[in-house]
Structure 1
Amino acid sequence: MKTLYERTDVVPLLAEIFRELGFEGATLSRITERTGIGKGSLYHFFPGGKEEMAAVVLADVDTWFEQFVYEPLRRDDPAEAIAAMWKNVDVYFRSGGRICLVGAFALDETRERFAAVINSYFQRWIDALADALVRSGRPAGEARAVAEDAVLGIQGALVLSRALDDKGLFKRALDQMAKRLSAT
């Protein structure tokens, strides 16, 4: 029995392939092998090829973060939104078991290809968190520095937990950052 896919079914599969292999390593042959979807079907869904696949995956990541992290930080009660950010980040990154695709793309030659998207992802996260911190009573300059430190800490915790193969490290790091952020 042949599995029928919709474009929306393929995006999460592609995301995991790009996370595992990177943009350059995710050749069309490897994508078809790992998804079980023929090249013709992939080109039907993504006429722009691998570049379009990566752009759609990045847009999907962006949509998730906009809905579950940035917008609540801008809109909701600051303390509740910040607490939800820690929880949602832990869920999204599977307690450190899933790398940040945007961060991974920022580290290799792919960065130039998707520079605007990568920059926007991190800037909007920092801006939204800084906004929540300002609304909670922090001075703007301090809020910005704390927000940058938090996003930096999350990204660093992802790398370290993967490097040490210690998923508990990511959760511990999030908990420590949350305590530090609420204490200052």
Structure 2
Amino acid sequence: MAKETYVPCLLGLFRRYGYDGATLSKISQATGLGKASLYHHFPGGKDEMVQTVLDYLERWIEQNILQVLKEEGEPGARLQQMCDRLRLAYEDGNQPCLTSILLLGSARDVFHDRVQVIYQSWIDAIAHILMESGMEQNLAQERGEDALITIQGSLILAQGLHDPAPFQRVMQQLPNHLC
């Protein structure tokens, strides 16, 4: 099987345990692959596994978030569509954000640059919509940053409280707050 076959499983493991906690033993058990097979598919080890998951996430964000934000149409509707897709991706607030998790522990220095690019692209896409609506560039950029702060913060709070309600509320209210 291609290594991409294992991405959903790896995504789940890294979301649950983080980079440091997702040991090769746990990865082997979850994927059904022995350690030798893991290194056959991922010669770069755990770093390559995370890079493969990040490749998947970048494609998903491009197709499901950035493209939606770049389409023609009413800004509020595009922002709502982004929020609807985020609700699906994070299982209505029941799943944490992998990119945030990768900024913790020993993975921070390894994956920071990729996470930064993902976040900046997302902020820029939101800012672009707000500028289309007539907002000044600096304010639009700040609001794009505030949007990610709100999204990420609500995911962290939902995980910390074991209650997805804060994330759900943010997804419902964010388009109106931004516009």
Quote the offset at 1:40 in angstroms.
2.3
Match status 1:9 vs 2:9: no
**Match runs of 1:119-138 below 5 Å:** 119-138=116-135
Structure 1 equivalent of residue 15 of structure 2: 19
Residues of 1 paired with 2:64 and 2:133: CA distance? 19
User: Which portions of structure 1, spanning 4 or more consecutive aligned residues, are displaced by more than 3 angstroms?
Assistant: none
Equivalent residue number for residue 143 of structure 1: 140
Match of 2:149 in 1: 152
How much does 1:6 deviate?
A: 3.4
TM-score, normalised to structure 1, is 0.91
For normalisation by structure 2, the TM-score amounts to 0.93
> More displaced, 170-179 or 44-53?
170-179
User: Does 2:45 match 1:64?
Assistant: no
CA distance in 2, matches of 1:62, 1:97: 21
Pair 1:40 & 2:36 matched: yes
Displacement of 1:8 in angstroms is: 2.1
- The aligned amino acid for 2:29 is E
AA aligned to 2:130 is L
Task: Report the count of equivalent residues.
Answer: 178
Q: What's the offset of the Cα at 1:169?
A: 2.3
In structure 1, what is the Cα distance between the partners aligned to 2:46 and 2:174? Answer: 37
Per-residue deviation at 1:20? 0.8
* Alpha carbons 2:4, 2:52 under 8 Å: kept: no
CA contact (8 A) 2:147 2:174 kept: yes
Structure 1 Cα separation of the partners of residues 106 and 138 of structure 2: 32
Give RMSD over aligned pairs.
1.4
| Distance in 1 (alpha carbons) for counterparts of 2:8 and 2:72 | 28
Query: Match for residue 27 of structure 2?
Result: 31
